[in-house]
């Protein structure tokens, strides 16, 4: 964990766990198909950040599932090691990115697409 100290890592872990819990709760509420004619909450789209814009054509649940998978992968890496490395180029992911998007798999350069 070259660019992250123990304390930062712990904070990111807590952030990820909290986010995972929220996503699971959201998925639980998405699962139930709303009764016809009932009020439908449509604030889920606010959760999607720019990194997920490309997947807007997927169902909300798929987006949530995808996000949850990234978070779980990140948590797994925090525990087993290798967290904070770009999956594409192997460089350390900038801590500013991890702060905003702790489940990020790519560094700034790769995220920008080259
Ligand atoms: Zn990279």
Residues paired with 98 in a beta bridge: none
Asked whether 16 and 75 are in contact (CB, 8 A), the reply is yes
How confident is the model at residue 51, as a pLDDT? 47
Please give the pLDDT value at position 47: 47
Q: From first to last of its 114 residues, what are the pLDDT tens digits of the chain? A: 457 889 999 999 999 999 999 999 998 887 665 555 555 555 554 444 544 554 444 588 888 999 999 999 999 999 999 999 999 999 999 988 998 899 999 999 999 986
The alpha carbon of 92 and the centre of ligand 1 are apart by a number of angstroms equal to 8
Q: How far apart are the first and last CA of the chain?
A: 24
> For residue 49, what pLDDT is reported?
53
Question: What's residue 29's pLDDT?
Answer: 81
From the number of C-beta atoms within 10 Å of its C-beta (0-12, 13-18, 19+), residue 63 rates as buried
CA–centroid distance, residue 72 to ligand 1 (Å): 20
Q: CA angle at residue 71 from 54 to 5, to 5 degrees? A: 120
Q: 88 C-alpha to center of ligand 1: Å?
A: 5
Q: Give the residue among 92, 107, 103, 83 at the shortest CA–CA distance from 15.
A: 103
Q: For each of the domains in the chain, give its residue range(s) and CATH number, in order of start.
A: 6-111 (1.20.120.910)
Widest pairwise Cα distance in the chain: 54
Q: Which residues surround ligand 1, an ion (CB under 5 A)?
A: 86, 88-89, 107, 110
How many angstroms does the Cα of residue 33 sit away from the middle of ligand 1?
39
């Amino acid at each position: 964990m070259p660019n992250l100290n123990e304390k930062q890592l712990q904070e990111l872990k807590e952030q990820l766990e909290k986010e995972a819990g929220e996503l699971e709760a959201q998925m639980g509420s998405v699962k139930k198909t709303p009764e016809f004619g009932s009020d439908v909450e449509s604030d889920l789209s606010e959760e999607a950040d720019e990194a997920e814009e490309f997947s807007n054509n997927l169902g909300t649940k798929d987006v949530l599932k995808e996000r949850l998978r990234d978070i779980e992968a990140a948590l797994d890496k925090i525990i087993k090691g290798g967290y904070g490395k770009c999956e594409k180029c192997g460089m350390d992911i900038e801590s500013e990115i991890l702060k905003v998007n702790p489940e990020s798999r790519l560094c700034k350069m790769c995220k920008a697409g080259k």
